[in-house]
Amino acid sequence: MDPVISVRGLVKTFGSTRALDGLDLEVAPGEVHGFLGPNGSGKTTTIRVLLGLLRADAGEVRLLGGHPWHDAVELHRRLAYVPGDVSLWPKLTGGEIIDLFARIRGDVDERRRDELIQRFELDPTKRARTYSKGNRQKVALVAGLASSAELLVLDEPTSGLDPLMEAIFQDCIRELRDEGRTVLLSSHILAEVEALCERVSIIRAGRTVESGSLDSLRELTRTSVTATTERPVEGLGALPGVHDLEVRAQLDGDTEVRFQVDTAQLGPAIEVLSRAGIRTLLSQPPTLEELFLRHYGDQLEPDELVDDAG
């Protein structure tokens, strides 16, 4: 099937600032795709280009088989957008704003609207100017989730929501996924992305630095292992891909080892351990946070360079 979103080499400059610098992004139909990046890395700019609000300077962008700038109106019939920075008309109530969006979309589903208002515990009779940040966000969420659009573009949609509402949001997204709809989820909340997304794209300074399924990304980083063995472990330090090895003899004669290992090298490392007689074994796959920090933290890079050289 053709991808729902296909971006190749996208460039967007504002004056002398190069906000997007050859960004790639591909989202397949029916998937919930996580879109990650630090503040100012170009997530919102990318979304604005996808929505036809900004014009791409270079690169190829296809959205639902169309051109986001030229076919904006046609494409927008098929998508719903939830911004992260929600600004509402102060004199209108939340209920009025939700209805207005549904009617302009031509996509009114009263039952679903009421259900969502109830699930998110939103008071639709309050004027927008009296809503808190979280409640403004709920108005935008209800307006977006109430639509029957095949693609949802969500730009940090849960900023300001409490954990209870966060859980309800995740339920809603799973329901959408089960209906076969596609979601592009830009988020800072890594637990949320880990819970919802099969595939993620990580961008930095306007470029995609990593893209793929969470499983394949995990293989690119290290697993941390803690084990106790009957006998001293031999030859672990000599294995390729093992880092930060700590060995401690325990009072009862057992040996405790802790180390990090490149996930691709996990098998050989376990073999070495089992030769020493494993009593306990704790193996932790890398969290998304570690994946994320690997591409963010400049301070990690020298370490990586040494590893590459070795």
Partner 1 sequence: MTSLVGTGALVRLVVRRDRVRLLAWVAAIVALVAVTAASTKGLYPTQRDLDLAAAAVRDNPAALAFNGPDQALDTIGGQIAYQVGAFGLVVVGLMSLLLVGRLTRTEEDSGRLELVRSMPVGRDAPLAAALVVVGGAQLLTAAGASASLVALDQEVHGSVVFGLGFLGVGWVWMGLTALTAQVAENPRVATGVAGGALGVAYVVRAAGDMSGGGLSWLSPIGWAQKARPFAGETWWPLVLLLAVAAALVAAAVVVAERRDFGAGLVPPRPGPARAAPGLRSPLALAVRLHRTAIAWWALATALLGLVYGSLAESIEDFIGDNEAIADILASLEGVSLVDSYLSTSLLITALLAVGPALQVAGRMRAEEADLRVEPLLATQLSRPRWMGAHVALALGGAALALALGGLGLGVGHAAVGGGTGQVAELTVGALVYLPAVLLLAGLPVLLFGVAPRGTVGGWLGLAVAFVIAMFGELLELPQLVMDVSPMQHVPPVPASGVRVPPLAVLAALAATTIAAGFVAFRRRDLRPG
Residue 307 touching partner 1 (CB under 8 A): no
**Among residues 21, 31, 99, 210, the one that binds partner 1 under rule CB under 8 A:** 99
The piece of 122-130, 171-179, 259-267, 283-291 that touches partner 1 (CB under 8 A) is: 122-130
Q: In the bound complex, what is the minimum distance in angstroms from residue 146's beta carbon to partner 1? A: 12
**Among residues 58, 89, 231, 300, the one that binds partner 1 under rule CB under 8 A:** 89
List of residues 6+ apart from 240 with CB closer than 8 A: 262, 265
Q: In the bound complex, what is the minimum distance in angstroms from residue 54's beta carbon to partner 1? A: 5
Q: In the bound complex, what is the minimum distance in angstroms from residue 158's beta carbon to partner 1? A: 16
The piece of 97-105, 185-193, 195-203, 219-227 that touches partner 1 (CB under 8 A) is: 97-105
Site for partner 1 in 149-208 (CB under 8 A): 153
Residue 77 touching partner 1 (CB under 8 A): yes
**Among residues 103, 231, 248, 279, the one that binds partner 1 under rule CB under 8 A:** 103
The piece of 31-39, 101-109, 257-265, 288-296 that touches partner 1 (CB under 8 A) is: 101-109
Distance CA 201, CA 195 (A): 15
Residue 54 touching partner 1 (CB under 8 A): yes
Residue 140 touching partner 1 (CB under 8 A): yes
The piece of 124-132, 188-196, 228-236, 248-256 that touches partner 1 (CB under 8 A) is: 124-132
Residue 142 touching partner 1 (CB under 8 A): no
